[in-house]
Amino acid sequence: MNRRDFNRICSSMVASATAIGSLPIAHAASERVTYNKSQLLNENKKLLSPETLIPGEPYLFFYPFITTPCFLIDLGNQTNADKKSLSDKDGNNYLWHGGVGPNKSVVAYSAICTHKMSHPAREISFINYRHEKTAYFSREGKSEERSQVISCCSERSVYDPRDGARVLSGPASQPLASIDIEYDEVTGAFYAIGSYGGDMYEKFFEKFGFRAGIEHRVSDPKKLAGDTAVVRKVVDYSGQVIKC
């Protein structure tokens, strides 16, 4: 990015900062919110079908806003439950819908940690999915080791993507927000259609909005995702992925 583009983006963001406020991000944490319907595409902007996804490989896309990162993961086998009851940090209950796709194995979550909002960035990511066995301490202080977890190495919060991203370990106060994914059995297409659970969008924009605008080269980091969202491997987006 050259200096002129940098100055233009910064000026546009400052000018629009007070004009934003009508977007649907102020809502009860447990409420399911419908956003723009975005078809998930591969990096070549072609159909992302179940056969495209590598089981165990974490992917990244941006939804429901153009700067809010989300994980897309094919766990390889059916998730634990359909419509699992979970709760946010305020005790509001909501139902997790389970996996989608031919094997009910594809899940999507906000990639913003619910503790201090660590998230994948261009330079580095402290949060990622671990398909291999990973060691951690449970909330009861017991040493655990299991595969298929989302681990945040910033403060060692660990989430269970097979069970609505509920918290297994660490200081996180609630599960990761779930991204509502619709699967078309006829075309094999995936669509992001909404978000539910305790999301961190407002806090994310308050703390990281300016930086996110620079990173994504946009003047409005709160702009809603469009009709499509490109999916790429996390390792292809972040220059360094930390494992712990």
Domain harbouring 41, CATH code: 2.102.10.10
Q: C-alpha angle with apex 212: 9 to 200, nearest 5 degrees?
A: 140
How much is the pLDDT for 30? 57
- Domain annotation covers residue 242: no
Using pLDDT thresholds of 50, 70 and 90, give the confidence band for residue 244.
Answer: confident
- Domain annotation covers residue 244: no
| pLDDT for 13 beyond 50 | no
Which pair of tokens denotes residue 239? 């220059």
- Domain annotation covers residue 178: yes
The HSE-up count of residue 121 (CA atoms within 13 Å, CB side) is 15
Using pLDDT thresholds of 50, 70 and 90, give the confidence band for residue 26.
Answer: very low
- The reported pTM is 0.88
105 vs 49: CA distance, rounded Å: 13
- Domain annotation covers residue 36: yes
- Domain annotation covers residue 14: yes
Number of domains forming the structure of the chain: 1
> Could you list the residue range(s) of the whole structural domain that residue 98 is in?
3-237
| Strands 228-230 vs 33-41: parallel, antiparallel or unpaired | parallel
